[in-house]
Chains A and B, each alone.
Chain A
Amino acid sequence: MREFIQNPILATIKCNQIDTVFCTGDWTLDGIHQLEAQLEEFICSKNISTVMFDGSQIRAMDTAGAWLLYRTYKTLEQAGQTVSLQNFDTEHSDLLKMMSSYAAKTQLKTSIPTISFLENIGKTTYITFNNLINFLVFIGKTFTLVGREILSPSRIRWQAVFFNLYADGLTALPIIGMLAFLTGVVLAYQGGIQLSMYGANIFIVDLVGITLLRELVPLLTAIIIAGRSGSAYTAQIGTMKVTNEIDALSTIGIVPMELLVLPKLLALIILMPLITAYADVVGVFGSMLVAKFSFDVSITDFLHRFPEAVSTTNYVIGIGKTPIFATVIALVGCYQGFQVRGGADQVGKQVTLSVVQAIFLVIIVDAMLSVIFSWLGIGTLPNFM
């Protein structure tokens, strides 16, 4: 019964010598893909003034086939030829009539507006500038709320804070530990090869100690947290925004930022230094193993050298930067969540933007802090000199 659906016969036209065009086959989506070119060719080659389409051999027709025939018919008619149809099924001629009744409505009058190069630059600048202002406003609002909560600490939603401490801190320990360990191993190994050429194996301790504690581990932790928690913040707030949950919160009388932003900010500020300290330990442990097994620096020597090589200042600078990173990550993550407009696909876009911006800003802040510390002369001189 349905055989013809599965095995379409290509629709074709056969012209006799006079003026009749015999349409054959399936004038359906499956059958007409070669027909369009054939009809174009036919329109161009035809010189006589009358054309008769014969539909007696058409096996099936759908709206696409009917449209194609209608289009050809109209093109010929506009070229001044007399066109007529004969022997079409009632079903098929009904479809053709339907085409003519809708043809006027399918004409698209307005074209897609094109944006010129200069206009594009202007628009992008405006949007970027606006985003910057919005972000500053968001930061301002957040810190106003922070101030209010400091004055009345009972307003802080500790349950949410502890949840975030667990979800963003405790559960991140395995991945951050592993990455810090591997970074320590790689750094010690690569540095150790160079140092051992001078017989200065013991200076591995200086190398890994300062690099890991002061720069690498805080940065690494911040990047992981931005990818792991910053994206989650954007996704959570963005989804709530799409489903009107943010509005629902306001209606119930809860300030959305107080519930959604401040606990995250507070939790990240608390947990970032702790996680970084943990990652410092694991990273240095990794280096220590490499120093022992590849470069003959015993664990005792390593631990003995460590306090001499790495000043407390370096450690404090490394840990001290992390609350600033935490603030950047939490603010960017939450801000991008609130920026979600429209549908669910916007959430994905905003999450990507959030992670990229957070990592970018963390590195910028890190660079700025390095410059500031060197101006102030803090921790710039290596201790062994």
Chain B
Amino acid sequence: MSEIVVEINNLRTQFGNTIIHDGLNLQIQRGEIIAIIGDSGVGKSMLIHEIILLQKPTAGSIKVFGIEVLKLNEKRSVWLRRHCGMMFQNGALFSSLTVGENIAVPLREHTQLSERLIGEIVNFKIALVGLPVSAKNKYPDQISGGMTKRVAVARALALDPEILFLDEPTAGLDPSGAGAFDELIVKLTESLGLTVVVVTHDLDLLWEVTDRVAVLANKQVSAIAPMRELIKLEHTWIQNYFQGSRGRAAQQL
């Protein structure tokens, strides 16, 4: 059994009378690519937001690297944010900064490196996510959607995090762009030893990239298994999700 990097126990999230998560348990292992799937509005993104302290759950425990994050104070939570990278669904690049400056923001904020070294690290990250270095001086509104997502990944990777969270990384990309993004995720995981948590609806990504898939249904993680085992499970939601025409088409690949 490999090392557990994120451990969620009995998590409960509630807004007024609406219960989002109730008694949710999840363990994420070092070095795996784990996907979280579920219907829209079931709280997949919210789960990620809770792990990186963007949203406070009602009750329960979330441990990252064995440390209870819900009890971290402001100063210590910086530690958590430094070791978790997050890519938001639409990139969330700072629109007044260039691509290079966007990636340099975390480096300038959290390290004491020289400008020259920061510039070189930025160039490296841009190359790492498969973009030409000439993209460095462009502004976010001058680049395509696929490039925006890659820049967002580069910014998330700026501080060499151990866990990378991706929220709908392939949504809105054309099939070849999405395929290239799948490859990028696998390559980064292998070369940097990352743990990747990805929220997605992209069936191809689920088949091609993930080690395990967690199904969020009925306010809990109702199943967690590699894809090949998952689709064989006797679970109504899973059968509905994967036995639609799109689900079957993706299986045949």
Contacts and interface: CB of A to CB of B under 8 A. Distances in A.
Interaction A to B: yes
Interface of A: 1-2, 5-6, 28-30, 32-33, 36, 62-64, 67-68, 71, 91, 94, 98-99, 102, 105-110, 112, 342-345
Interface stretch (B18-26, B136-144, B224-232): B136-144
Contacts of B141: 342-343
Given A94-B191, A102-B127, A36 B113 contact: yes
Interface stretch (B116-124, B166-174, B198-206): B116-124
Contacts of A62: 160
A40 to B, nearest CB: 10
B192 A63 contact: yes
Interface stretch (B7-15, B47-55, B104-112, B178-186): B104-112
B69 to A, nearest CB: 12
Nearest to B114: A36
Interface string B129-167: 000111011011100000000000000000110000000
A343 B137 CA distance: 17
Contacts of B111: 29-30, 33, 64
B133 A33 contact: no
B111 to A, nearest CB: 5
Contacts of A344: 95
B221 interface: no
A278 B126 CA distance: 61
B136 A108 contact: yes
A102 B137 CA distance: 19
Interface string B225-241: 00000000000000000
B66 A1 contact: yes
Contact of B113 (A6, A64, A345): A64
Interface residues of B, number: 35
B217 interface: no
Nearest to B66: A1
Nearest to A342: B141
B228 to A, nearest CB: 29
B128 interface: yes
Given A64-B117, A67-B120, A343-B141, A106 B65 contact: no
A73 to B, nearest CB: 14
A72 to B, nearest CB: 11
A102 B126 CA distance: 10
B8 to A, nearest CB: 18
A274 B123 CA distance: 61
